[in-house]
Amino acid sequence: MANIKKLVSLPLLIISLNKDKEMKRTVVFITLIVLFNGVNAQNSAEKIIAGNPGLHIGGYAQVDFNLPSRVGAIHKNGTLDVHRLVTFFGYNFNEKASFVSEVEFEHVTEVYVEQAFLDYKIKNNLSVNAGLMLIPMGIQNLYHEPATFNGVERTNVDKYIVPTTWREIGIGISGRSIDYSANYQAMVVNGFNGYNEGGVFSGDKGLRSGRQKGAKSYITSPDFAGRVSYYGHPGLNLGLSAYVGDTETKLYDGLDLADETAVASADSSIVGMQMIGVDARYIKGALQLRGQYIVANLSNTDQYNAFTSKDLGSKLIGYYAEVGYNLLEIKSDTEELIAFARYENYNTHSAVEVITINDTYNRTDITIGLGFKVAQGAMFKADYQIKSNAGFDEKSGQFNFGTAIWF
C-alpha cells in the first residue's frame, strides 16, 4: 500500500551510541535485531509454527444426525454423517495480494475445492479476484458456514434453486462503498454443464447436477453474476443478486459449425438462464429475522427436454421466511439459545414449456428448532422438519441434530 510508510525509532539507537563504552551494547542490540529478523528466512512449515501474520488457518464443519419419522408402519433408519468438514487456508502476500482457499471433505469420502482465488487490491475498497469463486447468489451460497444459519441442514431453497455451494472458475471484482454502506461483486464465470453424454439437468433437482465446481470444467460462453448488499440501517442487511448466461454443452466440443443439423442439435442442449434473488437479514436485540426469494427463468427448456428426454422446468422459484429469538439475550453475553421457525417453499416446476407440471416438485418445509450457540462459531442444533409437496396429501417428518463449528 502506497500510504504505508515505515518509520524508525531512532532515539533508542542514538542513546546507545553516545559513548564508546556503550558500543558493546549496540552490537548486542543489533545482533538481537538480526536474530529477531531472521524469522524471514523460513520454509512454510516453520512459518505456520512461528505464527506468521500472513497466514490464516480456519475451517468449518457440521456433523449431523438425521432421524426420519415413521411413515405408517414403515420404519426408516436414522443417518449419522460428517456432512462436511472444510479447511480454510489464506495467505496475505502483502497489503495488496492475498490468496483464499477452502478444501472440503463431504460425507468423509468426497473431496472438493470450494474456493481457490487470488485477491488483488487495485485501490482502497476495490479488489480484483480470479480463480475458483463462490457465485454471489442469495445468503447461504456466500455465508454457508453452519454456525451462521439456524437449522441443522441448509435451507432447501439454497439446494434446489440456488445449488449451494455453487462455485465456478472466473474473474471479477469485489468492492465496497463506505459512504453508501454497500458491498458489491461482479464476475465473469463459467456456466453449468448442461449436457454431458446426455442431459444433466432435471425437473426434480433443477440445475444442481450441472455444477462444474472447477473440476476439469469446460466452457463455450461465459456467464455473468453480480450482487449488491446494503447495510445502511443498523441491524439490517439487504441483498440483490443476479445471474445471466447460457449453460455449457459438451456437444460444442469438436462441432463443425458448417454442419447445420449438428449445430441445431447442439443448440438444443443449451439452456438460457436468468436468476434473480433478493434477501434480507434483520437483527434487533433478541429478535432475528431473515428471508430470501429466488427466481430462475430458463429458456429453451422445450428443446432441451425434447432432445434429452428430461423434465426441466422453465421457471424455478424458491423462498423462505424465518423468525428467530435469542432466549439468552438478557442473561448471557457469550451464549445464545435461539428458538426459530421457518417456512420454506421451493418449486422447480413453477412453470414449464410443453411438458406437464409435476406437483411433487412444489415442495414446502416447515422447520422449528433450537440452536445453542456456546461460543461465536460453535453451536449445537436440534430441529424438526415437516416436509410436504403439492402432489401428495401425506406429510413426512424428520428430526435433525447437529454440531456446527466455524473458526
Partner 1 sequence: MYSKNNIFKAAALTVAALLLFSFTAIYVLSTKDWKKIEKNAKAVFNIEGLIFSEIRNTSNLGATRFFKINDLGYLAFDQAPSKFHKFEYYIIFDAKGEILKVEVLNYNENYGAEICNKRWLKQFYQINTSSFFEYNTTVDGISGATISVQSISSHIWNVTEKLKGYLKQK
Binding site for partner 1 (CB under 8 A): 2-10, 13, 17, 20, 23, 26-27, 29-30, 33-34, 36-37, 40, 56, 90, 92, 98, 100, 121, 124-125, 127, 143, 148, 174, 176, 178, 181, 183, 185, 231-235, 237, 281, 283, 288, 333, 376
By beta-carbon proximity to partner 1, the closer residue of 1 and 49 is: 1
Identity of the amino acid at 217: S
- Residues 107 and 81 sit within 8 Å (Cβ to Cβ): yes
Smallest distance, partner 1 to C-beta of residue 117, A:
13
d(CA 111, CA 200): 21
CA distances from 146 to 65, 82, 156, 403 (A): 14, 13, 14, 9
Residue 124 in 3-state DSSP? Answer: coil
User: Which cell goes with 211?
Assistant: 455444477
Residue 44 or 125 with smaller CB distance to partner 1: 125
Cβ 90 to partner 1, closest distance in Å? 6
| Residues 54 and 93 sit within 8 Å (Cβ to Cβ) | yes
Q: Phi and psi at residue 359, in whole multiples of 5°?
A: -65, -20
Instruction: Using the structure block, give the residue that is written with the C-alpha cell 538481537.
Output: 32
Residues 379, 129: Cα–Cα separation, whole Å: 31
Minimal distance, residue 121 CB to partner 1, in Å: 7
Q: SS3 for 211-224, per residue?
A: CCCCCCCCCCCCEE
Choose between 10 and 45: whose C-beta lies nearer to partner 1: 10
Nearer to partner 1, 78 or 235 (CB): 235
Residue 335: what residue type? Answer: E
DSSP 160: I
To the nearest whole angstrom, how small is the minimum distance from the Cβ of residue 398 to partner 1?
27
Task: Count Cβ atoms below 10 Å from residue 11 Cβ, excluding itself.
Answer: 8
When the beta carbons of 40 and 309 are compared against partner 1, the nearer one is 40
User: Is 140 or 308 the residue whose CB approaches partner 1 more closely?
Assistant: 140
Contact status, residue 143 vs residue 127, Cβ threshold 8 Å = no
Q: Which of 46, 55, 36, 65 is nearest to 382 (CA)?
A: 65
In the complex with partner 1, the residue whose CB is nearer, 47 or 56, is 56
Of the pair 34, 111, the CB lying nearest partner 1 is at: 34
Least distance between partner 1 and beta carbon 113 (Å)? 18
Please report how close the Cβ of residue 17 comes to partner 1 at its closest, in angstroms: 5
Least distance (Å) from partner 1 to the CB of residue 387? 27
Measure the CA angle with vertex 377, ends 364 and 51; round to 5°: 145
Tell me the closest approach of the beta carbon of residue 170 to partner 1, in angstroms.
16
**Lookup: cell for 401:** 441434530
